Structure 1
Amino acid sequence: MSLLINIDVPDTASGERFYTAAFGLQIGRRFGKDFVELLGWESPVYLLAKNAGTVGAGGDLRRYERHWTPFHVDVVVGDVDAAVARAVAAGATLEAPAKNTPYGRIAMLADPFGHGLCLLQFNARGYDALLEG
């Protein structure tokens, strides 16, 4: 099995600008103007242009203001503070500044399209710290 990440955006050009600037992803392939592959993470990212107001999964209408979903992307980084600064400079909204946790540091953001994401910097113990006492 493998994992692909598909992210709906109102247009691929704005999605490309954000994800390449915020995370250093590179354009892999273009499948027309509304479907772009980005590379640089362990799984490829596909930006799919979908107009706001069109029907998405479960019959919900797509919207690109901030919305909640139980599924989001955690981006593991070496320096969460630097990654937050880069993402915000690229257009992300910082929703919860980086804080220390037993497993490292985490910050919560939203991309310019309303999708939530977290930036996570693991310490030496990582999630194993949650197994202790």
Structure 2
Amino acid sequence: MHLLINIDVDDLARAEAFYRDAFGLSAARRFGDGAVEMLGAQAPIHLLRKPAGSNAAGDARRDYHRHWTPLHLDVVVEDLDAALARALAAGARAEGEVREAAWGRIVQLADPFGHGWCLLQFLGRGYDEIAQ
């Protein structure tokens, strides 16, 4: 199986700058003026320019205000504090404080396009600390 991650955005240049500066991704291929492939994660991330108000799924329309979805992505980092500072400087919004658990540390973020993200820093054996 090959996984691609597609993220709808309303401003492709702003999204490219955000994902470069926040997560260290780099632009690779461009697909006309409507999409750019960002590399540096385990799966390619395609930023897709889709206007606000355009058809999304079913009767829904795209809205780039903060929204909730049962799907979000986690970015595993070595240094949560440094990664959080980088993401905030790039335009992310923290949604709560850094929390600690037996497996590590986590903070929830929203990107400038309303999508939810988490930064994770594993400690000890990571999720194996709580695996049964």
> Fold conserved (TM > 0.5)?
yes
Alpha-carbon distance, 1:124 to partner: 2.2
Contact kept, 8 Å, 1:11 with 1:34, in 2: the verdict is no
Contact kept, 8 Å, 1:80 with 1:119, in 2: the verdict is yes
Aligned length: 132
Cα distance in structure 2, aligned partners of 1:83 and 1:26: 16
Alpha-carbon distance, 1:59 to partner: 2.7
- Could you tell me which amino acid in structure 2 is paired with residue 62 of structure 1? R
What is the TM-score with the length of structure 1 in the denominator?
A: 0.96
Q: 1:2-81 alignment to 2 at 5 Å?
A: 2-81=2-81
Which range is displaced more, 96-105 or 35-44?
A: 96-105
Alpha-carbon distance, 1:88 to partner: 0.4
Specify the SS of the correspondent of 1:81. helix
Summarize deviations over 1:89-131 as a string: whole Å, max 9, x none. Answer: 0000000221111110000000000000000001121111222
Cα distance in structure 2, aligned partners of 1:39 and 1:131: 31
Structure 2 stretches lacking a partner, 5+ long: none
Structure 1 stretches lacking a partner, 5+ long: none
Contact kept, 8 Å, 1:104 with 1:120, in 2: the verdict is yes
Summarize deviations over 1:22-45 as a string: whole Å, max 9, x none. Answer: 011000110111110000000000
The runs of at least 4 aligned residues of structure 1 exceeding 4 Å deviation read: none
Cα distance in structure 2, aligned partners of 1:81 and 1:51: 34
What is the TM-score with the length of structure 2 in the denominator?
A: 0.96
